[in-house]
Amino acid sequence: MNKMNAAILGLGGMGKTHVTAAQKSPYVDKVYGYEPDADFRVKRCQELDIIPATLEEIMQDESIKFVSIASPNETHIELAEMAMRAGKSVLCEKPMGNTLAEAKHMCDIEAETGAFLQIGFELHYSKMYQHTKKWISDGLIGDPVNVQCRYYCCEFHKKNTWRSNSTGSFLIGEKLSHYLDLQRWFFDKTPENVYSLSAAKVVPYFNHRDNHQIMTRYPGNCVGTLNFIMYIAESHTGHDPLRDLLEQQADDGHFLQYHICGTKGAIENDVFRRRYRRWEFGDSPEFMTSKIVEEITFPPADDQIYFHNVEEQNMHVIELVATGKPSEMTAREAYETMKLCFAAELSEDTGELINFNDPRLD
């Protein structure tokens, strides 16, 4: 097996996950790490057991074939362009940019350079959502017509952090892009229009909105909704050591659920109950019937594999690069999700129903 070297740009919490994936990959020899502060770079690389390097060293080293970007959002476009122009294959955390123009520019650079580029929508690699997509593709619920997501959590971004200090509809691009992306993936259609509302802010120190009610219409009179509130659940500053954390959160106001309703059945994903299940619709002389015909649960040890599988996503993308295969989620597909995010933001800013072909989204 021909091995390659990899570099991780950004060595914070998510960067550590990217480092671990590269270290576990059989296709990677050496792992390099970059942080802009030289002293912190050396210290952090020692902690992670990787090799510290400057950006210039990484870009000029032809043995480094793969670059993973886990740095703050505002640096994504600059680092991705630099790496693609240096001939590297790139995995970049979402969002693709802080503006839709930046996201489009990333697509343009990919097309211009012919580089490998994949955006980190890791839910495509998470077992619960993969299984859900297979149920849909196999026709087990008929044609999906209604996709509902309810996501309630506690405020865990904390005061005076880059997340709480971010502006605009930060949470849509940073957090909710994952769940709008799943909605798009389940329908496998391009949105027609978006209408989004945000109630008055409750978290006083957020510079951005703390709730979003996003409604999207797709072709065929299909509708997707995302109802998000970031403060209602019990603060998670610790938990009862005699109880499993998700079990506790499942009863303290936390929700992360999908209900995908089709013409022949429905699917529920429930993260906090570690469960997903499928209904079949039928007929009787009195009414349409509904019956749960399949239910799958998973143990706490498999949480990340089932609903937030960053590590295996990264290892798989590294394999794609090493074996000369194309990305499995093109930059253009990721751009369509980002466009949906920005359409929702524009709707909240203006109070308008936003058509997906609105020139303001160009």
| One pLDDT digit (tens) per residue for the chain, 362 residues | 789 999 999 999 999 999 999 999 999 999 999 999 999 999 999 999 999 999 999 999 999 999 999 998 889 999 999 999 999 999 999 999 888 999 999 999 999 999 999 999 999 999 999 999 999 999 999 999 999 999 999 998 899 988 898 887 778 988 999 999 999 999 999 999 999 999 999 999 999 999 999 999 999 999 999 999 999 999 977 666 667 888 888 889 999 999 999 999 999 999 999 999 999 999 999 999 999 999 999 999 999 999 999 999 999 999 999 999 999 988 999 999 999 999 999 999 999 999 999 999 98
CB atoms within 10 A of CB 256: 20
Give one DSSP letter per residue of 139-170, joined into a string.
TTT-SEEEEEEEEEE---S-TTSTTTT--BSH
> The domain that contains 274 carries what CATH number?
3.30.360.10
Residue 59 lies in a domain: yes
Residue 183 lies in a domain: yes
Specify the residue for token string 């992670």. Answer: 48
Residue 74 lies in a domain: yes
Q: Are residues 128 and 112 in the same domain?
A: no
What distance in Å separates the CA atoms of residue 55 and residue 300, rounded to the nearest whole number? 38
Predicted TM-score (pTM) of the model is 0.93
Q: Are residues 153 and 74 in the same domain?
A: no
> The domain that contains 27 carries what CATH number?
3.40.50.720
Q: Are residues 83 and 204 in the same domain?
A: no
Give one DSSP letter per residue of 282-320, joined into a string.
EE-SSSEEEEEEEEEE--GGGHHHHH--HHHHHHHHHHH
Q: Are residues 179 and 219 in the same domain?
A: yes
> Which one of 55, 87, 119 terminates a domain?
119
Q: Are residues 52 and 185 in the same domain?
A: no
Residue 29 lies in a domain: yes
CB atoms within 10 A of CB 200: 7
- Domain that includes residue 39, residue range: 4-119
Q: Are residues 103 and 160 in the same domain?
A: no
> Which one of 119, 141, 157 terminates a domain?
119
10 CB contacts (<8 Å, ≥6 apart)? 18, 34, 35, 69, 70, 71, 72, 75, 93
> Which one of 119, 134, 156 terminates a domain?
119
Peptide bond into 95 cis (omega under 30): yes
Q: Are residues 147 and 291 in the same domain?
A: yes
Q: Are residues 150 and 284 in the same domain?
A: yes
Q: Are residues 216 and 83 in the same domain?
A: no
142 CB contacts (<8 Å, ≥6 apart)? 262, 263, 264, 265, 281
Q: Are residues 65 and 205 in the same domain?
A: no
Residue 62 lies in a domain: yes
Q: Are residues 81 and 104 in the same domain?
A: yes
What distance in Å separates the CA atoms of residue 246 and residue 168, rounded to the nearest whole number? 30
Contact status, residue 189 vs residue 217, Cβ threshold 8 Å: no
Residue 317 lies in a domain: no
